[in-house]
Structure 1
Amino acid sequence: MLVEFEYWWLLILPLFFTLGWIAARVDIKQLIAESTSLPATYFKGLNLLIADQYHKAVDAFSEALYLNKDSLELHFVLGSLFRRTGETDRAIHLHMNLLENYELTEQQSTSIKVELAQDYFKAGLYDRAEEIFQTLRHTRYEQAALRHLLEIYVKEREWSQAIAMAIELERSSGISYRKEVAQYYCELAANAMISQDWTQAKTQLLLALDANKNCVRANVLLGDIAAQQGHHTDAIAFWKRIEMQAPEHLGLVAQKMLKSYALLYGETEPESTHTPGKGLSEGLNQLHQYLETYQISSMMSVLYEATLQAEGPDKAAKLARTELIRKPSLKSLDQLLQARAMLDDEQHDLQLMQQTVRNAIGDRAAYYCDQCGFRAKQYHWQCPACNAWESLPPEPSEATIRDIKLLKRK
């Protein structure tokens, strides 16, 4: 149904236009009045911030604050700049001076405490930062305080407190911390394993899986514990569960699985007899199946080395050739050349070609964090640079400089 147009609305439109014009004029006059009361160094500091010249901006805002000592906003800006430039002692002194020597409202005092807590945190004075953040838990800064407290407990490796804080933060923010909680339980389990408290370690790992059923690390460690206790059937069963969680991680346990398969039948490390025992044969067949199904590069490396040692260079060469046809790579070519050099009488040319390939490959393969681009030669569950959990892919890659730059922009 259409609404009939009321012509008297046309009389109101000019009135609205006039009121809007007046309001705009008032706002412009107020803005001009406020801007003229600010020292010129304030605008100089803003220009330096835009140009990312933080140390020069510190000098400009310090001068502006000297000319306008009562401006809390300038105090906040300067304190933040001190933290950014690493001058945390100056930031702490500035915010302590505000709390001790200025008459502040409760809201202003709370805001300054937030800044001071961040100063302590940046300075590595976690106990002092924690004390202040604890007082902010029931203020409008609660979620920020909880996040900082969680980060403090992680940095100090206080895993039980980190679990409690993550659960509280999850309830407060509605954001899931299941992945992180599971990793904290795994850290507790790892500590228990060091002291060989297997019961406690298993308890923590089951809690990790309860928090996150897709926690690969929990099954890796459960398998490690079973193998350590000589329960190799259980160990293999735990590692096989990874296929249902994230099969791309199977390469992390491939070598362990082979060893447990061999020990199931009392076999030791594979010898160059070219006749693997029953256990090792089962293990090799299992890895072959994983390689065919999921095409995991690290699985191929383990399988090739085991095949070369247990079944000889002929079988290893066939494996490398098949992989080279399926997925051409310098790594597979290197393996093929190595096996062929062991088979042929005229080895010198093949060894020379293999060495050339290895020199071309170099040492570029590594694990690159998808959050910050950190490069690691071995797999980490937590990035050593940005502390993100499970941010490194399970398979090493040969990332280019361009790839790393793109990662850092995320």
Structure 2
Amino acid sequence: MEFDFTWVLLGFPIAFTLGWLASRLDLRQLRIENRQAPKAYFKGLNFLLNEQQDQAIDAFIEAVQNDPDTSELHFALGNLFRRRGEYERAVRVHEHLMSRGDLTQPERDRAQHALALDFLKAGLLDRAEIALRKLEGTPFEEEARLALLSIYERSRDWANATDIAARLDSSSHGNFSTRQAHYLCEQASASTAAGDTARALSALHEAAAMAPASARPLIDLAKLQNQLGQPQDAMQTLLKLEKTAPQGLPLAAGLLANIAQGSGQQAAAKTLLEASYAHMPSIDVIEALVKLEKDPVTARQWYVRHLEGQTSLVAADKWMAGEKLENEQHRALVQRTLDQAIKPLMRYRCAACGFEATQHFWHCPGCQAWDSYPTRRIEEL
């Protein structure tokens, strides 16, 4: 039986026609999808500009479904989920990006950084730390180190915080010597609580040398020296404080008065406090001077002197407490009123976030800023 080539000749135009029709259908479908994807994308952008985040998320999901290979849409969607507080969905989006084999290295680094931010915002500090550590040697290295520093400060991991701060300092990202001094002071406090005073002294001396203009290392060092029965060394440390960081002396005024009374160095302490008061009037310095005065009448004159220079409810309250008035009942009423009025004025206030506290903090509990509390109380600001 011979093969009939007629069928072959008839088949060519049929196959060509079918192929042409299929290609036209594919092109039409592709055009429809390409039109739908930008439309959904721009619709999402419009919602985003109008701060309609729910509608923006829906639009971006539609765009991602139409064009699943576009990484930019995934980044936009993941960031929106994070801003909305939907951290699990943000993590899934960025982990999906990381699993793709067609990502370029810059996009992979960007996805790793976004994933680290998801964990950080969700409070998953251990997973955030692992993710941030993987960004060493990438364009996001500096940002990752700053985030790691924040994690270690929040978890009070001062050893790792010191290591990261040293790296940031060496990379010319800023001066972190003062912050490293704070870390050493925190480690010294822990060593003192554990009974290792030798290690604490070493850490405080290192901190004072690292940040000579910082008041905290010298104040903490003087406190420890006084606890160890070294009043002469403590006095020398406070004398150094007045020279290198005089703004911090009001915080150590009470300590200075106690050291002087216990070691018979009242004259030296008074000279130091008077010089500090002349430079920067402070109610804490006044209180220390009053404590060192032997004559009660002379002591109370310090409050009058302070009132002559500036209006102060706190000084008026302290003066009133020792004053003898004709009507003691009325005096008690005035005293109670003043006591109530000065309570808010005796607080310290963070200059960064406004958090108020009855004690001075080197590290703000509210915004986590360092050295944001002035050394003087609210009334004196």
CA distance, structure 1, for counterparts of residue 55 and residue 189 of structure 2: 47
In the alignment, structure 1 residue 218 sits paired with structure 2 residue 224:
no
**What TM-score does the superposition give when structure 1 sets the normalisation length?**
0.76
Q: How many Å apart are 1:174 and its aligned residue?
A: 4.2
Pick the aligned partner of 1:357 from 328, 332, 338.
338
CA distance, structure 2, for counterparts of residue 248 and residue 151 of structure 1: 27
1:299 alignment counterpart: 285
In the alignment, structure 1 residue 336 sits paired with structure 2 residue 319:
yes
Q: How many Å apart are 1:83 and its aligned residue?
A: 2.4
Could you report, residue by residue, the CA deviation over 1:277-318 in whole angstroms, capped at 9, with x for unpaired residues?
A: xx55664554344323421232224444x269x643x33432
Could you report, residue by residue, the CA deviation over 1:205-252 in whole angstroms, capped at 9, with x for unpaired residues?
A: 122123211221111111111111111111121122211222221111
2:44 alignment counterpart: 42
Q: How many Å apart are 1:119 and its aligned residue?
A: 1.2
Equivalenced residues, count: 347
Where does the alignment leave 5 or more consecutive residues of structure 2 unmatched? Answer: 1-33
Return the letter of the residue paired with 1:132: A
Pick the aligned partner of 1:315 from 292, 298, 301.
298
Contact 2:43-2:56 within 8 A present in 1 as well: no
Return the letter of the residue paired with 1:38: K
CA distance, structure 2, for counterparts of residue 337 and residue 35 of structure 1: 79
Q: 1:142 to 1:339 in 2, by over 3 A?
A: same
2:146 alignment counterpart: 147
Q: 1:67 to 1:311 in 2, by over 3 A?
A: farther
Q: How many Å apart are 1:131 and its aligned residue?
A: 2.0
Could you report, residue by residue, the CA deviation over 1:364-383 in whole angstroms, capped at 9, with x for unpaired residues?
A: 44222222222222111111
Could you report, residue by residue, the CA deviation over 1:250-270 in whole angstroms, capped at 9, with x for unpaired residues?
A: 1111111111112114xxxxx
CA distance, structure 2, for counterparts of residue 259 and residue 215 of structure 1: 22
Contact 2:349-2:378 within 8 A present in 1 as well: yes
Q: How many Å apart are 1:399 and its aligned residue?
A: 9.7
Return the letter of the residue paired with 1:244: K
- RMSD of the TM alignment (CA)? 2.8
CA distance, structure 2, for counterparts of residue 214 and residue 34 of structure 1: 63
2:75 alignment counterpart: 76
Pick the aligned partner of 1:380 from 348, 361, 364.
361
Could you report, residue by residue, the CA deviation over 1:137-161 in whole angstroms, capped at 9, with x for unpaired residues?
A: 1112221122222222222222222
Percent of residue pairs identical: 29
Q: How many Å apart are 1:55 and its aligned residue?
A: 5.6
Could you report, residue by residue, the CA deviation over 1:13-67 in whole angstroms, capped at 9, with x for unpaired residues?
A: xxxxxxxxxxxxxxxxxxxx99992325313322233xxx656654554455455
Contact 1:219-1:239 within 8 A present in 2 as well: yes
* Map 1:138-287 → 2, pairs under 5 A: 138-265=137-264, 279-280=265-266, 283-284=269-270, 286-287=272-273
Q: 1:65 to 1:299 in 2, by over 3 A?
A: farther
CA distance, structure 1, for counterparts of residue 289 and residue 327 of structure 2: 26
Q: 1:290 to 1:106 in 2, by over 3 A?
A: closer
CA distance, structure 2, for counterparts of residue 330 and residue 67 of structure 1: 70
CA distance, structure 1, for counterparts of residue 341 and residue 356 of structure 2: 20
1:391 alignment counterpart: 372
Q: 1:348 to 1:281 in 2, by over 3 A?
A: farther
CA distance, structure 2, for counterparts of residue 90 and residue 79 of structure 1: 7
CA distance, structure 2, for counterparts of residue 74 and residue 297 of structure 1: 60
Q: 1:34 to 1:176 in 2, by over 3 A?
A: farther
Contact 2:38-2:63 within 8 A present in 1 as well: no
CA distance, structure 2, for counterparts of residue 35 and residue 326 of structure 1: 75
CA distance, structure 2, for counterparts of residue 395 and residue 301 of structure 1: 13
CA distance, structure 1, for counterparts of residue 69 and residue 366 of structure 2: 40
Rg larger for: 2
Could you report, residue by residue, the CA deviation over 1:177-209 in whole angstroms, capped at 9, with x for unpaired residues?
A: 111111111111111111121111111112212
CA distance, structure 1, for counterparts of residue 328 and residue 81 of structure 2: 65
CA distance, structure 2, for counterparts of residue 399 and residue 73 of structure 1: 53
CA distance, structure 2, for counterparts of residue 153 and residue 146 of structure 1: 10
Where does the alignment leave 5 or more consecutive residues of structure 1 unmatched? Answer: 1-32, 266-278, 401-410
**What TM-score does the superposition give when structure 2 sets the normalisation length?**
0.81
Q: How many Å apart are 1:362 and its aligned residue?
A: 4.6
CA distance, structure 1, for counterparts of residue 189 and residue 305 of structure 2: 39
